[in-house]
Structures are given as structure tokens and as C-alpha cells.
Chain A
Amino acid sequence: MNVRPISSEPAYEVVWPLGRSHWDMRAPNERVPDLRGKTICEIWDHVFRGERIFPLIRETLQKRYPGIRFVEYDKLGDTHGPHQKEVLAALPGLLKQYGCDAVISGVGA
């Protein structure tokens, strides 16, 4: 803030143009070190080939982690669709109802 004018031009003292951040910063939740026997919920925004990507993920993780269970994305609603507000509002309740241990969310592309 300390640039001195090098000519006879006036100097302007200006303020910050941004706004205060609404959210406090925090760390992500504790992870799930062992996926055996765990319930994984899928959240999909119904774009960008998630209909192919999620089944591949399920198949691979089911081979690797005995007892892992998936709650597929059609149970949780379209997070980008015409009812986005309602779907997002219902998510915490549904994740609890399904006994979710962790979430895979996609697809941003």
C-alpha cells in the first residue's frame, strides 16, 4: 500500500473491493481407514458419464473390500437437477437413514 506517486498526479487511498467470507474454515472430517464392511453412498449430478463411472467404481471396490456396500445414486436424487434444493436438503437425512460411512460425489467436468 505504500507506493508513492512519482508525478504530480493525485494519490488515491482505496479500500478492499471484496466482501467478508461467510464460512469459517475447517478441516475435512476424519476419514475411514478400512472400507471392509462399510457403506458407501453415491451422489451424482447426472452429467458427464457418471452412469458408466459409478458402476466401475462399485465393481472394483467390491472386489477389493469384502462386505463393502453401496447405496447407489438413484436412491439419493439428482444433485444438479430441477429439484436440486430439495434433494440437497434431504441428503443429510438420507445418508443417516442408509447408514452411510463415506460418500463419493461426482462428476465435475
Chain B
Amino acid sequence: MVERAGYPTVSIVSSGFLKQAEVVARGLGLPDLPIAHYPGVPMTDSVEELQRKVEHELIPQIIRGITAQEVVTFTQTAAPDPAPRDVVFRGTLDEVGEHFYSNQWSDGLPIIPPTLERIERFLRYTDRAADEVIGICPPDNREATVWNIAVTGVIAGCRPEYMPLLIAVVEAVTDPEYRMQDAGSTPGWESLIVVNGPIVKDLDFNCGASVMRVGRQANTSVGRFLRLVLRNMSGFRFAPGAGDKGSIGQSFLVALAEDEDAVRQIGWQPFSADRGFKAGDNIVTVQSVVGISPPVYTGSEKATEHARILAEVIGGSCTYWSPVGIAYGKWHPLLLLGPSIAKVFAQEGWSKDDLRKYLYDNVTMRASDAERYAYYVGLTDFSLADKVKQGIVPAVYHESDDPERLIPVFQKPEWIGIVVAGDPGRNQSKGYCSNHVQGPPVSKAVRLPRDWNQLLAKIRG
């Protein structure tokens, strides 16, 4: 953006990120943006080695990047993109699959060929125009339209009636708040879609046992859909492609539907209401997940006993990532609470806020650990004192310089999300650790077509 503002720029990028830099530069319309290459991994070089590399290898490239007018490689006469309805390939199922795979348009699984007929079936489930641009998908900065959302839905194996929800998912991730451009960052975070409202039952989402397992078409294909959006609209691919720098990464997460019957029975409000909507609205929320806790079994008729173990295990599993949340002043871990556990809390008069407050009060870590963990993530000038001084986190994070002092792991109780789902016949919960400002929860209402009920009746009939 600095180049677009009119300033000649050179960008310092280390070896492992050169390909990603190419993707980002191309996505911003500047394929020939000068790059100065730091060879190797700066985080593991000694001070002496870093100095040597900067002086002898990086600086000559910086000088060249700022001073030398290079030959541009892009051409204004490059072939235009195909029009939405252009047929780009014709073949059997296997041939289409191979074509998509070799172009890095698919995820390695078999695909449903996106034919015009199949796409039109999806478009019947929305009143929105096919060419409406729902959002721009960085870093490739491709337009996500109603049309290509339908295309991606077909490819992913979604049913046509999922279309209104698919559009809402894309609205959520293309909201600048979500920071879609960071979905390829090295933590390898994945997007978790949470579904609320009558649409859970309308579309036959699973919200009970094995809620996070592949196997129910709605949960599975909607999760796969979003991963394909990130691949094809945002450009997140790994070798032989580029753009996705997830160092280890994880697979797409199936969409999580909340068990609103269980929530209603215990007198709690659903996750969608926590997010500011009316209980009973059809809402999708998308947020990042960098890691998942072990399954946590808690027992007793006493809420505090459950809370204690949840704090120890789920709080414990999120602790390592807490400093990263502190660095960016934003962090939204999610607690997936089994229905039988939620029932105990409710019976003992606990609200969701009471549980959040308990976790905030009872999960702490040493300040020195926070600063050490943050440094090795790459936040090499991280200091709790500075973060408090800058107003990014409250004073409790720097009440003294004692490195052994304890600080809260969860920055704000209200930032802990709670979704009730899973096996009602077992006493199990899980924690989903989010990734700071990258992928905070963003919620969007699902806009149904005017004739939704008739369309649903036709499917069921």
C-alpha cells in the first residue's frame, strides 16, 4: 500500500516467506515489488550471524531495491480472466478432478464438477444477484461473488439449500475485522464456523455426539467449502503453490452447530445471543482456531468442581498462546461445553458469565513465561510493561517487575466464547484456542430467500 501511495519501497523477507511475498505482491497488483531477501531463519541465527547476513547479504539488496529501476515482468496484455459462465474444461469426473488438482483448485479430495446446471440449482436458494460481490479475499484479492460462492459450494459437495449459509460464511470472513489476509500465517490456524438458529435443523446439521467429526454432510461440506474459498479466492496454497505459510497447519474443521434445544432447556441463551443477536436468529460466526485441548472430562453435581478442571485443563492448554493474545490486545478462546456439563452449571445457578469469570480469575501464568514464549513466536520486542503503557492490556499485567508474578491468561472474561454441543450422554468438553487479532469471531445473519419455507418443503416432500 505504500507503493500505491507513491513511495518506492523495498520489503525485507526471509527465505521461507519469499513465495508468500510473491503471492501478496501479485494480489496487490504489484508483481514486481522489490524484495530484499534475508537468507535463512532470523529467529534461529546468533547475533553474530544475523549481523553478518544483514551487512553482507541483505543490505546490498535493500540498496538495489530502492535505487535500481528493474525491468517489469507483468504485461498489460495478459489474458483476461474467464467470464463466470465460460466453460474452462470438459472431461469425465476423473479428468475434471485431475484438471482441478493440477491447477491447485482443489484440496486433494474428489470434487463435484461445477457445471452450469449444478450452479443454477444453488442460485435458486438466494434472492441475491449472481454477480453481487460479497467480499474481496486477500491476499490474492479475488472477488467472492454469489456466483463463485455457488461454484465453490458445488465443488465442496454442499447441497444447494446450504447457499444462504455459505454466503453468510463468506460475508463473515471477508469482513475486514476477520483479517482473512492472515489466514495463511505460520501458526497454521483454521477457521471454525459456528451455526445457530433454526437453520441447524433445517439443514440437518449435527450438534450431538461426534459434533466435530467428518460424517454429516452439512457440517462436513460447509467446513470444506470455507477451506476451498481460502484456497481459490484468497490464494492460500502450499507447495507446489504458495501463500499458505502454516508451518505445520491443520485440516479444515467441520462446522459446529450449537445444541439450542439443550441450551433452551437449561435456561441459558445461545451463542448467537452472546454475540449480540436475538435467540432464534439464523447466525453464523466464524473464528480462528490455532489449537484444540484434550477432551476434558469433568464430574460432580457441584459446578465448582467442573469449573476447576475446565480451568486447569482448558485454561492450561490455552496458556502458551496467551502472550500472543496479549501482544495484540485481542484473544477469543472458545469453550465447547458438553450439554450435561452445562446442565450442572445451570442447575447450580451459574450463568455463562459466571463460568467466564471463574476461568478469568483462576487461570494464570508467570510473567517471565509470557515474555519468553512471545519472544520465540517472533515477537522479539515484546514486553508486558510496554503493552500496559501502550494501553493494549490493563495494569494487572504489569503490577511489578517481578518475573515470577502471576498474570491472567484470559484477558477479558467476556472474550471467552461458550458453545453447548456434543454428546449429551457423556461428561466431556473441549477448548478451542483462537489466534489473537487474526480471525476474531465475526458473526453474520443468514439471509434466507423469500420462498425459503416452500423450497424446504419441496426438498423434504
- Residues of chain B within 8 A of A61, CB atoms compared: 59, 63
- Residues of chain A within 8 A of B378, CB atoms compared: 47-48, 109
Interface of B is mostly: mixed
Closest residue of A by beta carbon distance from B179: A84
Q: Is B187 an interface residue (CB 8 A)?
A: no
A9 touches B84 (CB 8 A): no
Q: Is B82 an interface residue (CB 8 A)?
A: yes
Chain A to chain B contacts (Cβ below 8 Å), 22 pairs: A1-B88, A5-B92, A15-B88, A15-B119, A17-B155, A18-B81, A19-B143, A20-B142, A21-B81, A48-B14, A49-B50, A52-B50, A52-B51, A53-B38, A56-B59, A81-B392, A95-B7, A102-B9, A103-B2, A107-B38, A108-B13, A109-B378
Q: Is B68 an interface residue (CB 8 A)?
A: yes
A100 to B8, CA, bound (A): 10
Taken residue by residue from 42 to 56, chain A's Cβ proximity to chain B (1 for < 8 Å, 0 otherwise) reads as: 010011111111001
Q: Is B163 an interface residue (CB 8 A)?
A: no
A22 to B343, CA, bound (A): 49
A28 touches B141 (CB 8 A): no
The size of the chain B interface, using a CB distance under 8 A, is: 97
A106 touches B12 (CB 8 A): yes
Q: Is B72 an interface residue (CB 8 A)?
A: yes
Q: Which of B30, B43, B68, B91 contacts A49 (CB 8 A)?
A: B43
Interface size class of A (residues with CB under 8 A): 35 or more
- Residues of chain A within 8 A of B449, CB atoms compared: none
Q: Is A60 an interface residue (CB 8 A)?
A: yes
Give the shortest distance, in Å, between B376 (CB) and chain A (any CB).
Answer: 11
Q: Which of A12, A21, A23, A26 contacts B115 (CB 8 A)?
A: A12
Q: Is B394 an interface residue (CB 8 A)?
A: no
- Residues of chain A within 8 A of B284, CB atoms compared: none
B62 touches A57 (CB 8 A): yes
Q: Is B249 an interface residue (CB 8 A)?
A: no
Q: Is B95 an interface residue (CB 8 A)?
A: yes
